[in-house]
Structure 1
Amino acid sequence: MRFMDKLKDYVHKEFGLGSGSRKVFAHYMVGLTCGQAREQWLHDVVAAKEAGIDGFALNIGPSDPWTEEQLDLAYRVAEQVGGFVLFISFDMAVGEWPVAQVVGLINRYKSSDAQMLVDGDSFVSTFEGPGWAENWRKVRQETGGIFLIPDWSSLGPYGVGQKLDLIDGAFSWDAWPKAGSTRVTTNEDRIYQECLRGKRYMMPVSPCFYTKLPQWNKNWYCPSESLWYDRWQQVLDVMPDYVQIITWNDYGESSYICDTAPAQIVQGAEKYTVDYPHTALRAVLPYFIAAYKAGSADIDLPGDETAVAWYRTTPVSAGPDGETQWGQGGCESAARGARDVISVLALTTGARQLTVAIGQSVWRFETSRKSTVSYFEVPFGDSTVGPVRVTLGQKFVDGPAIVNECCHGEVIFNHVAIKI
């Protein structure tokens, strides 16, 4: 390892990265942008920036003919907006990457004002690709230097720890409960931090996971009833070097937090993403991101008091499970892991009255007097269905009704999200 690399690693390990360097990114699927106009990029960049997100990790494959055209648009828009960074996340799971192609793309954007840099080097990431690992030595040489934070989750943290001479840190893709579990933990995050020995860790955060795309043999749900709350609380506990939200716009896996862009929805995902908005989930990001960067949850609320709620619109008993499994590689029905609840996350500056109504049933809560963050769950089921209303103080929002009938003949495990 070069002397300067050793010095940077030592300083980072001994003294920490510093709150001024913490950043939050969102994973953006460029493969969904064929023919996308500048206006959509502008909309997404502005919306992400307003939520407190620092930049996009641009996921690209090696063979989409529109990749460079769309990357050019993305970088130009981010440059014009300002204060928003981009970096390429090479998807190594969808095809072979020639070294020259990777080098060419990094060199193409390394001088952009929007390129995410660390110590003057282009920030670069991946989705998987540990078999390509040795090629990064040549990429470093031919680009003049990169700052490599790959996702090699298939190796696990201990496996990644055996390749520290090739990387500057690591990104984990394990943002969801594992098969058979209902809550995610920080166990994996802590092990990554230990195995990286002071190199930088990028922690994953996601709101949801549900996919049913038979053409790709994908059909599973990771319980997400408390996930958006759990994971941001865990960020404030772990305080990683970076955070990456998975994802901005992956409709096929229901992990999106963007405003719905119909042209990006992958074929087959329409029935579980159209009319299932997640935009509301961004309402809590300015607080959580500010707290993460400050290194403390004890900060002033950076906006108005708000509450967001997310829920499925049918009980799991309302119809067949569609053969959806409980977690990737699971052998049980997703209906066993999914909980019939409305999840509510409120940000307030003191005790406030919060109510949740489902039809004629009403639940009343009081938000915390001491903490900015309050979290509640309200159960629903066969006999507790109907229109949904969430009220915080004098403000309220109505959401889609919970019904006992599956409009597509089977339970949809994606959530809708609403905000006050």
Structure 2
Amino acid sequence: MGFMNKFKDFVHKELGLHSGGRKVFAHYMVGLTLGQSPEQWKHDVVTAKEVGIDGFALNIGPSDPWTREQLDMAYQVTGEVGDFVLFISFDMAVGEWPVSQVIDLINRYKSSKAQMLVDGDPFVSTFEGPSWADNWNTVREETGGIFLVPDWSSIGPYGVGEKLDLIDGAFSWDAWPKAGCKRITTNEDKIYQECLRGKKYMMPVSPCFYTKLPQWNKNWYCSSESLWYDRWQQILEIKPDYVQIITWNDYGESSYICDTARAQIVPGAENYTLGYHHSALRAMLPYFIAAYKAGSPDVDLPGEETAVAWYRTTPVRAGPDGETQWGQGGCESAARGARDVISIVTLTTGAQQLTVHIGQRAWCFQTNPNSRASYFEVPFDTCTVGPVRVALGPKFVDGPSIVNECCHGEVIFNHVAIKV
């Protein structure tokens, strides 16, 4: 290592910006932050940091007039909080990016205390943009260097493998089961790792996907009953260089894990997001992030024993399917793919009793004494409805009832989440 590299490494360690080791980021939609306050940014940063998330990938488009103001605010607040990083994810699917604009934004924030750096270079990502790929060499020259880990999922891992001279790694957007599939596999992740030939791989994880925004021709649901658990188990298997949670706050696609911020909900998504809280899903993160970074599931629980449950509040036969398809590009109804179950993950240090109530019925389980994490499912249908209670040992929580009535005239495929 040359003198300048040693010096840069020393400086970034002293500033708290050294970027060695595995990291977990969450995808943050800056396009939803019109008029957002510093207090909201601080709340989001602190809340994410508390569960072990290392930083936000800031998704931005080229034309939102509030972008720079909000980025300035985000970088300033994050720098003040400390021990949390940011990097820009240029959304190449929403408009044309002038090269000069990309260069200007990278240069503007690359020296920020909050900027994610790798070997002294600012970490940069994208949502799509393979047709823009040849511009990145110019960006590197005009910024003094970047560490580029784009998402070019539209050309797949083999297509990405043909552009290794332009990138330092790759991020996959394939965090959900494909149309017609009820579970996700690691096949795509393994192909990415092979095609990258030792370059960094950022693996995606998401709790859910459901969108119904006719103005954007979007109306589909991806099977998500066991997804949040399955994907973290797969992360422990794959051991990627980085993990990105999709998303922190994309309400329109029901993939959020933040505390609900009403002002960020896109018009048209209110019916399936207001009252459908996902914040309880974060309770799994301290353990799974610690296990991922340690490279083993055999780590101590960072907090108390807990149970996290998520479920839809109506059976799929309780009303019309709203013409929602099963998976993007699917040709079957989401009602065929969605399973009527309460999904529960327990995090315990030994055998514990888990009890789940739906109305007058109860199910009892014992957690695996040889594993920190256990997964369970409790079925329901139009004859099994009523108040929901989940208990782990003597502790319990009451969740929203499962009912046969669709409050908006059709089945909503988003989940609610609760934590014991």
Q: Deviations over 1:250-284 (max 9, x none)?
A: 00000000000000000000000000000000001
**Mapping 1:35-114, distance limit 5 Å:** 35-114=35-114
1:303-322 aligned at under 5 Å gives the runs 303-322=303-322
Partner of 1:164, secondary structure, is: coil
1:267 aligns with 2:267: yes
Establish whether residue 238 from structure 1 lines up as the match of residue 238 from structure 2.
Answer: yes
Q: Matches of residues 6-405 of structure 1 in structure 2 within 5 Å?
A: 21-405=21-405
Q: Which runs of 5+ in 2 are unaligned?
A: 1-18
> One-letter code of the match for 1:341?
V
Separation of aligned partners in 2, 1:57 and 1:410: 34
**Whole-Å separation in 1 of the counterparts to 2:222 and 2:382:** 22
Residue 20 of structure 2 contacts residue 118 of structure 2 at CA under 8 Å; is this kept in 1?
no
Taking the aligned partners of 1:281 and 1:219, their CA distance within structure 2 comes to: 24
Shift of 1:192: 0.1
Question: Could you report, residue by residue, the CA deviation over 1:166-190 in whole angstroms, capped at 9, with x for unpaired residues?
Answer: 0000000000000000000000000
| Native 8 Å contact 1:20 1:293 kept in 2 | no
Give, in whole Å, the separation in 1 of the partners of 2:232 and 2:20. 19
Gapped regions of structure 1 (runs ≥ 5): 1-18
Give a deviation string over 1:89-138, Cα, whole Å, max 9, x none.
Answer: 00000000000000000000000010000010000000000000000000
1 CA distance for matches of 2:269 and 2:382? 26
Task: Tell me, in whole angstroms, the C-alpha distance in 1 between the residues paired with 2:233 and 2:73.
Answer: 35
Once the two structures are superposed, residues 40-71 of structure 1 have per-residue CA deviations (whole angstroms, 9 ceiling, x without a partner) of 00000000000100000000000000000000
AA aligned opposite 2:278: H
Residues in 1 aligned to 2:199 and 2:358: alpha-carbon distance in whole angstroms: 48
Amino acid at match of 1:156: G
Question: Secondary structure of the equivalent of 1:405?
Answer: coil
How far did residue 371 of structure 1 move? 0.3
Counterpart of 1:45, as a letter, is: V
SS in 1 for 2:407: coil
Show CA shifts across 1:297-354 (max 9, x none). Answer: 0011111000000000000000000000000000000000000000000000000000
Offset at residue 20 of structure 1 (A):
5.3
Distance in 2 of aligned mates of 1:307 and 1:144: 47
Amino acid at match of 1:304: E
Once superposed, what is the RMSD of the aligned Cα atoms? Answer: 1.1
Deviation at 1:161, TM superposition (A): 0.2
Question: Which residue does 1:16 correspond to in 2?
Answer: none
CA distance in 1 between counterparts of 2:156 and 2:396 reads 44
User: Contact 2:357–2:363 at 8 Å: present in 1 too?
Assistant: yes
Matching residue of 1:418: 418
- Kept after mapping to 2: 8 A contact 1:397/1:419: yes
CA distance in 2, matches of 1:20, 1:350: 33
In structure 2, what residue type is equivalent to 1:316?
V
Report the residue type matching 1:327 in the other structure: G
Aligned to 2:6: none
Output the CA distance in 2 between the equivalents of 1:234 and 1:137: 34
CA distance in 2, matches of 1:89, 1:214: 26
Name the SS for the 1:318 alignment partner. coil
**Could you tell me which residue of structure 2 aligns to residue 9 of structure 1?**
none
Q: Residues 176 and 227 of structure 1 are in contact (CA less than 8 Å); yes or no, is this contact kept in structure 2?
A: yes
Instruction: Report how far residue 202 of structure 1 moved.
Output: 0.1
TM-score (norm 2): 0.95
Query: Aligned partner of 1:366: which letter?
Result: Q
Tell me, in whole angstroms, the C-alpha distance in 2 between the residues paired with 1:307 and 1:74: 32
- 2:11 is aligned to none
- State the distance in 2 between where 1:345 and 1:126 align: 32
Query: Deviations along 1:365-412, whole A, 9 cap, x unmatched?
Result: 000110000000000001100000000011000000000010000000
Q: Return the alpha-carbon distance in structure 2 between the equivalents of residues 50 and 263 of structure 1.
A: 23
Q: What TM-score, normalized by structure 1, do the two folds share?
A: 0.95
- The share of aligned pairs that are identical, in percent, is 83
